[in-house]
Structure 1
Amino acid sequence: MKLTKEQWSWVFYDWANSGYGIIVTTAVLPIYFKGVAQANGVTAANATAFWGYANSLGTLLVAILAPFLGALADYPGFKKRLLTGFTTLGMVMTLGLAILPPRQWQWLLVIYVLSVLGYSGGNLFYDSFLTDVSDDRQMDQISSVGYGFGYLGGVLAFILFMILQFTHGFGQLSSTAVARWGFVLAAIWWVIFFVPLLKNVHQRHALSATPAPLRQSWTRVWQTVRHLRQHRGLAWFLVAYFCYIDGVDTIFTMATSIGLDIGITSTTLIMVLLAVQLVAFPCSIFYGWLAQKTSTRTGILLAIVVYLIICVDALHLHTVNDFWLLAILVGTSQGGIQALSRSYFGRLVPKEQSSEFFGFYNILGKFSAVLGPILVGVVTQLTGQSRIGAASLSLLFLAGLAIFLALPKLTADNS
């Protein structure tokens, strides 16, 4: 399928903010913060705790605001305005991480929380624009291309960061100079590739204008919550999504700890991360093609089965090669299950209220990695083996699979 200029512009927003995701959130800021906090008298344990609190606060703020902001974005002209506002907040705060003196580690956390708010809030409106740039027949492929190019953009941004590091001789990854270059690069990458969406993507579905959009948005959110039984298929899909996406996110977030437990070095873990992103690029697009040839339902079911295989195979996780194999398997389906879940949900929601419903979708995405880490932690403590803890995630995938199988097939198009 040939994408239009508007659709490519939408796709490249995922490319744009992936630099923030991999450079700031995953690879650089956690190390940088821990280094500057400990240099200012904070113990290692407290630094880790403060970092966890900051991430939890950012997640909580986004989850609380998401339904209301989504409902507000459904009125004419608000979706682009809110996307631009939150994206700008994320960009400016990312630059703020580079400017702030290292000794002010408390303010570093404050600025990071604001950057998370901008990043996650922008993603809410970006996701809901899927219903504006595509119809139901195109949604699977466009959503998949978005995720695929997001993975590729993150890898290229990180490679560029590594080139800057080594060519300028900044030293180790935890050095102040390297970290600041990383933050600046992530912000510039975000700005450059946000411009096409700003120019070319437009809100096509909206509710009728109202003189009191703020009050009406609150009212609509509560009405939707009270009348969820009118959207039973949508509500049950969200329950299934919560279960299996919890497993997906937990595997990603716990992979580093599990890898360290079997003796994998931090350098190898970074290489594995890059490999997963690279594999996810073509495989995400493949899932879009598969959904087009068969159905969205088939693609999601396949991805859940792949994750069940990953969980079972984790029982045999002993060596670096075993870890590489599981990582590649994750890369084959991580983007696909996210992309097709987004397009499946986009087909279910009323188009003129897509932002409001994607607000609820966003809540479950933010709280998804809650049960999974607890399950892994408890099973690991009981058995003394993290690989058995990882295998226990199969329970979440089985629950998601059972609920998803019970859902009626979509009547729209090929699903």
Structure 2
Amino acid sequence: MDSLPAEAAPSVKKRTIAAWALWDWGSAAWNAVVTTFVFATFLMSSVFVDPVLVELAKTDAAAEEQVKAVIATHNTWLGWGVAAAGVAIALIAPLLGQRADAAGRRKLWLGVNSFMVFLAIAALYFVTPDTGDLDRMVIIGLIILAFGNIFFELASVNYNAMLNQISTRENRGRISGIGWGAGYLGGIVLLAILLVGFVMIEDTGWFGVTTENGENIRVAMVFAALWWLIFALPVFFAVPEKRSHEKHKTLGVVGSYKKVGRDIARLWRSDRNVLKFLIASAIFRDGLAAVFAFGGLIAAGVFGFSPTLVIVFAIVANVISGISTIAFGFLEDKVGSKAVIVWSLIGMCFAAIMVFALHGQGSVIFWVFGSILCIFVGPVQSASRSTVSQLAKPEMEGELFGLYAMTGRVVSFLAPFLYGVAISIFKSQIYGILGIMVVLLLGLILVAPLNLSPTREQEPA
């Protein structure tokens, strides 16, 4: 492993890096299974539409349009739910990041929030279409998703801040890429297990589950929750707690917010480039989040993918993303994070345009250009994380990642809002792609002029 001179490079064992990366591996339970390819697709499907209307839609065109309208309404609710969770994250993340830095309790907050994600995934078992009020059940599912999103993002603040503890400036890109790539590769394994054991079944699957009332999908959520719990644990044993900085006293809630405000003002005066990157990354990361949130829904709603085919595509997408993210991580250490971010965003915009322009040609278009898009999603995320890590001063890593989360959530309404508006105006789900692409393009325009060179040496171990 390349490193800085011995006096400036932390000595980290490979098993410590592996334990850290396993948290990313386990995160596939939330990122790939819950919010993208399995549960969100299940919740936004015709399973949660009046079964009488669904049956009538098989022979009646007007009823079919009604079913599509109900599903479009549920998609709009999903967009607003994601946006509401984003507001909560924006308010809480910098506060918890600052307090974790000051008190040296990074692992504590990582553990608390990770456990809450586990509870949220397990709770999805109780979201069932076996009810007389399907809209109410959809809302309950969206509330659980919103709370899960909040806790997952808060956990990510402290997890991402650990990157400097296990890397140097010279290998940070590849280690971040290995972690993020592990998330995609974990998604492959988990999705394959769920596909065989729960989703792609006719009568009964593992443990005797059936497809009645979506039992197979709901039990799959319990399996995913256990997956998350098991792989989230190693980081707590392998990575040491970050020591507190004496000059950062633990403040009260009001005092912590005041300090965050002072730090933002200081960055504006003395290190404005950091703030510009936080704003630019907030915008393009919102576009990335929309790709994950709505990609499976577009595959199902526009290109006619069945739930099983959505998961098959998800497995292919994760293979592509996992390999490309790890490869781009090594490339990042050679060419810099900005080059990876800029060219990846250009590739994503191209792929999105082609999916929209050629969607009438059938599902092969989604397979080809959706796969091309997947090449670039992971590298942007990994390079953004390593950029924040290299820009952060030792005493405010958690706080800067908190601001990273906050700025991301301040504009988190943007892509879901434009996705929903485009669908509402044109009455077609395919136009939602344009809303997402506009956000990615805006982020590209803002990040392209920035200088993202490291501003500090790695903190001595």
TM-score, length-scaled by structure 1: 0.85
Q: What letter matches 1:72 in structure 2?
A: R
> Mean alpha-carbon deviation: is it higher for 362-371 or for 299-308?
362-371
Structure 2 counterpart of 1:408, which letter? N
Matched, 1:271 2:281: no
SS for the counterpart of 2:245 is coil
Does structure 2 retain, via aligned residues, the 8 Å contact 1:98–1:184? yes
The change in CA–CA distance for 1:175 and 1:32 in structure 2 (over 3 A counts) is farther
* Percentage of identical aligned residues: 21
1:352 Cα deviation from its structure 2 partner: 1.5
Counterparts of residues 4-403 of structure 1 (less than 5 Å): 4-30=14-40, 31=42, 35=47, 54-98=81-125, 105=137, 111-165=144-198, 166=201, 167-168=205-206, 170-172=209-211, 175-204=213-242, 206-208=244-246, 212-215=250-253, 216-229=255-268, 230-260=270-300, 262-266=302-306, 267-314=308-355, 315-317=357-359, 318-376=361-419, 390-391=433-434, 394-403=437-446
Shift of 1:412: 5.5
Q: For the structure 1 residues 377 and 62, does the alpha-carbon distance in structure 2 shift closer, same or farther, using more than 3 Å as the test? A: closer
Deviation at 1:207, TM superposition (A): 2.3
Residues 279, 408 of structure 2: 8 Å contact kept? no
Which letter does structure 2 place at the counterpart of 1:68?
Answer: L
Corresponding residue for residue 9 of structure 2: none
Relative to structure 1, the CA distance from residue 186 to residue 293 in structure 2 (aligned partners, 3 Å threshold; closer, same or farther) is same
Deviation at 1:147, TM superposition (A): 0.9
1:82-137 CA-to-partner distances (Å, cap 9, x unmatched) read: 11111112223333443688769476665544433332221121111112222222
> CA contact under 8 A between 2:86 and 2:412: conserved in structure 1?
no
- Write the distance in 2 (CA, Å) between the matches of 1:136 and 1:175: 51
Preserved CA contact (<8 Å) 1:12 1:197: yes
Report SS of the residue matched to 1:306: helix
Equivalences, count: 410
Q: By how many angstroms is 1:271 displaced? A: 2.1
Task: Measure, in 2, the Cα distance between the counterparts of 1:386 and 1:286.
Answer: 33
Mapped to 2, the partners of 1:393 and 1:98 lie a distance apart of: 30
Distance in 2, Cα, partners of 1:27 & 1:303: 22
- Cα distance in 2 for residues equivalent to 1:197 and 1:269: 31
Contact 1:89–1:118, Cα closer than 8 Å, also in 2: yes
Note the residue ranges of structure 2 that are not aligned, 5 or more in a row.
3-12, 52-66
2: CA distance between counterparts of 1:311 and 1:224?
37
Tell me the SS of whatever aligns to 2:236.
helix
1:357, distance to aligned residue in structure 2 (A):
1.1
Contact 1:132 1:205 in 2 (8 A): no
Runs (5+) with no aligned partner, structure 1 = none
SS of the residue 2:448 aligns to:
helix
